[in-house]
C-alpha cells in the first residue's frame, strides 16, 4: 500500500461485483461502508481508496465493516506518518 501525496482529499470507490450478491445486498454493503467512513472522515488521510469484498455481501455484518474500515484507517494513518 502506498499513499498518493498529490491528492488533497479522500476519494472513495467501490468494487463489489455480482458474485458478492444481488443488487440489494451489494448496495447495503456499500451504504454500510459509507456510514463508517462518514464517522471517520476527519481521521482518514487524503488519498484514493478502493473498497471491495471477498465475502458474499449478505454475510458481512455492520460490525465486520466497522472493524475492517477502522483497521484500514489505522494502517493508512501509520503509513502517512512514515
**In what helix (H) or strand (E) does residue 63 lie, and over which residues does it extend?**
helix 62-80
Q: pLDDT by residue (tens digit) across 17-61?
A: 999 999 999 999 999 999 999 998 888 888 888 999 988 999 999
Residue at 70 is within a domain: yes
Instruction: Say if residues 77 and 43 touch (Cβ distance below 8 Å).
Output: yes
- pTM more than 0.85: no
Number of domains present in the structure of the chain: 1
Residue at 18 is within a domain: yes
Helices (H), 3-81: 23-39, 62-80
Instruction: Say if residues 79 and 1 touch (Cβ distance below 8 Å).
Output: yes
| Dist CA 40 CA 70 (whole Å) | 8
**Domain carrying residue 70:** 13-80
Residue at 8 is within a domain: no
Amino acid at each position: 500500500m502506498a499513499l498518493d501525496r498529490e491528492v488533497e482529499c479522500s476519494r472513495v470507490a467501490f468494487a463489489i461485483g455480482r458474485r458478492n450478491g444481488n443488487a440489494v445486498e451489494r448496495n447495503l454493503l456499500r451504504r454500510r461502508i459509507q456510514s463508517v467512513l462518514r464517522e471517520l472522515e476527519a481521521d482518514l488521510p487524503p488519498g484514493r481508496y478502493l473498497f471491495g469484498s471477498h465475502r458474499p455481501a449478505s454475510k458481512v455484518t455492520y460490525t465486520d465493516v466497522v472493524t475492517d474500515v477502522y483497521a484500514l484507517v489505522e494502517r493508512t494513518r501509520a503509513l502517512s506518518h512514515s
